[in-house]
Amino acid sequence: MSILQPRPSRPHERWSRLLARLREAHATQVELHERVLLRNSPWLEDLLHWSWDGEDWQLHGRLLPPAGPSPSVTRSGWCPRLG
């Protein structure tokens, strides 16, 4: 194959890249939505929860949370106290 000839099209690679970008955009939107919900519910900061500050996990809060996933942090571990 010569340098001047175009590379054969691989539609499945383009679709894979598109789907990866769409998944990333969706994950970003979910994270932002969760952050807005936490900002609008400051009382959730009082529930004990682990949050990720980018370098280490920190324990925040003073009250035992209900059973199940913590409503005080996003899926990535962000909480309003981190900024």
Collect all residues with Cβ–Cβ distance below 8 Å to 41 and sequence separation of at least 6: 71
Query: What are the tens digits of pLDDT across the range 20-33?
Result: 999 999 999 999 99
Q: What is the mean pLDDT of residues 28-50?
A: 90
State residue 72's pLDDT score: 82
Q: Given a cut of 70, is residue 66 above it in pLDDT?
A: yes
Q: What is the mean pLDDT of residues 45-53?
A: 86
Are the CB atoms for 73 and 50 separated by under 8 Å? Answer: yes
What are the extents of the domains in the chain? 11-82
pTM (global) more than 0.85? no
State residue 33's pLDDT score: 94
